[in-house]
Amino acid sequence: MKVAVFSSKSYDETYLNQANNGQHQFTYFEPHLDAHTAALSQGHDAVCCFVNDTLDEATLGQLHDHGIRLVALRCAGFNNVDLGVAQKLGITVARVPDYSPYAVAEHACALILGLNRNTHRAFNRVRENDYSLHGMLGFDLHGKTVGVVGTGKIGVAFIRIMRGFGCRVICHDPYTNPQALDAGAEYVDQDTLWAESDIVSLHCPLLPATRHLINNETLKKMKDGVMLINTSRGALIETVDVINALKNGKVGYLGLDVYEEEADLFFEDNSDELLKDDTFARLLTFRNVLITGHQAFFTREALEAIAQVTISNIGHFEAGSLDRMHQVNV
């Protein structure tokens, strides 16, 4: 198949070409896919997209007009696709459901350790010949209570790591996952999770029901000085509410790999430009906030798996054998 790859970086090209083995014809485009760039898909059978491409009604309509039959997402989340419109237009949407849960779970853990033990601040301090420990005081993870929202593949991988540290893990999910129980986590209702957790880590998808899940009301129910970690999707958090909670000490630590308005910021080198997002700029002023630019997925193993599953999804679509696990709109 002829596939137009959007939001393409050199690493996407490297890993897709390695896994492709001449099966499909890829054209790589750096811009995000949206209604302004959809024309680039002309002459292709499929588009291959990532987290910040916008597959709304306007974009999908154009893709349909250009004969696109498949959207092959090279990510797990699909909140950026209007599935109803895709369905109506007969465009199949495929995704990579489980490329490496370890990559994201381990990154959540890196944020926790970094925030708690201030390794990022120590890196700079030691380079300035400053070995003072002022502001470096951390806490033992051992014995602390970690609340996990969403016990799918990443949530379970994260539970196992936290149990390895000797944490008590409580979790919440509309569905009980026996693997979470086997890993030693205990299911509780949402309010108990907010009330008892020293660390809250979000591992659920962005859905209408989870948008701004962390807001003034839910923050009020949490422990003073709680550590909040979000490696899932930015809009799970109402950022302005969390900024207020950082200001009054309710949130003691904030670790983010995702941000609601990240589409205009992340994955690019903007160092020659002014930062125009005042909310993001305010977040950067807190020394107890650690932000990474949507890199939790970014390991060699994950990129290999993403490329392999994406190519297999395209092949299965062509053969009419895409299964329910990989097809989003069945």
Task: Give the C-alpha separation, 161 to 165, whole Å.
Answer: 7
Alpha helices in the chain (DSSP H): 10-20, 57-65, 83-89, 101-117, 119-127, 153-164, 178-182, 190-196, 216-220, 239-247, 278-283, 300-319
Q: Does 294 bind ligand NAD (CB under 6 A)?
A: yes
Q: Which of 24, 95, 294, 326 is flagged as catalytic?
A: 294
Catalytic residue status for 260: no
Burial (0-12, 13-18, 19+ Cβ within 10 Å), 39: exposed
Residue 48 near residue 26 (C-beta atoms within 8 A): yes
Closer CB to ligand NAD, residue 38 or residue 322?
322
Task: Please state the closest distance from residue 115 (CB atom) to ligand NAD, in A.
Answer: 16
Give the contacts of 36 (CB within 8 A, at least 6 positions apart): none
Task: Give the C-alpha separation, 137 to 202, whole Å.
Answer: 25
Selected from 233, 241, 254, 256, the binder of ligand NAD by CB under 6 A is 233
Closer CB to ligand NAD, residue 61 or residue 184?
184
Closer CB to ligand NAD, residue 150 or residue 252?
150
Cα–Cα distances (Å) from 40 to 48, 54, 61, 91, 293, in that order, read 12, 14, 14, 17, 27
Q: How many residues bind ligand NAD (CB under 6 A)?
A: 31
Closer CB to ligand NAD, residue 101 or residue 255?
101
Closer CB to ligand NAD, residue 61 or residue 77?
77
Catalytic residue status for 107: no
Interacting residues with ligand NAD between 54 and 113 (CB under 6 A): 76-77, 98, 101, 104
Task: Please state the closest distance from residue 171 (CB atom) to ligand NAD, in A.
Answer: 8
Burial (0-12, 13-18, 19+ Cβ within 10 Å), 271: exposed
Q: Does 174 bind ligand NAD (CB under 6 A)?
A: yes
Task: Please state the closest distance from residue 105 (CB atom) to ligand NAD, in A.
Answer: 9
Interacting residues with ligand NAD (CB under 6 A): 76-77, 98, 101, 104, 149-155, 172-175, 203-207, 209-210, 231-233, 257-258, 294, 296-297
